[in-house]
Amino acid sequence: MPSTFLPMLLIWITIWVAAAGVALLRPGMGELARGFWAMTLFWVAIDAGIAAWSLFSPIEGLEAFRRILLVNSGLDVVYLIVGVVLLLRTAPLVRGFGIAILMQGGFLLVFDLAWWLATGSPNGG
């Protein structure tokens, strides 16, 4: 795993934990915003778990890392579909969940695919 992978993920986590923590402490938040920030906090907890797992059980070998990135990218697409389904619901809380899933899943898709492309061999492999 490239040495800059985890620091980049940890920066993302830190930004969103801080933002969600501040936002959730505000009084009088609407249901949509509450759903967004609560789901965002859930997702960064998942990201933090992934980062911790990567620290304690590092992936050995570039090809194994690239395979995991591809599997994760497929899961990211599923997350985006779920986010769209939730966004189309009428309940503001659920719509907030959908927006957060779209943002976090979208980031993870770009992050995973960018790393997959960046770690590819110069001859296309």
pLDDT computed for residue 83 by the predictor: 97
Cβ proximity of 34 and 96 under 8 Å? yes
The number of angstroms, rounded, from the C-alpha of 60 to the middle of its chain's C-alpha atoms is 22
Question: Band of the pLDDT at 123, cuts 50, 70, 90?
Answer: low
CB atoms within 10 A of CB 90: 6
Residues whose CB falls within 8 Å of the CB of residue 29, separated by 6 or more in sequence, listed in order: 23, 37
Cβ proximity of 73 and 116 under 8 Å? yes
Residues whose CB falls within 8 Å of the CB of residue 6, separated by 6 or more in sequence, listed in order: 51, 54, 55
Q: What is the pTM of this model?
A: 0.84
Q: What are the extents of the domains in the chain? A: 5-118
Q: How far apart are CA 89 and CA 111, in angstroms?
A: 28
Terminal-residue alpha carbon distance, the chain: 17
* DSSP one-letter code for 66: H
- pLDDT for 2-15, tens place per residue? 677 788 888 988 99
- pLDDT for 76-86, tens place per residue? 999 999 999 99
- Is the pLDDT score of 124 beyond 80? no
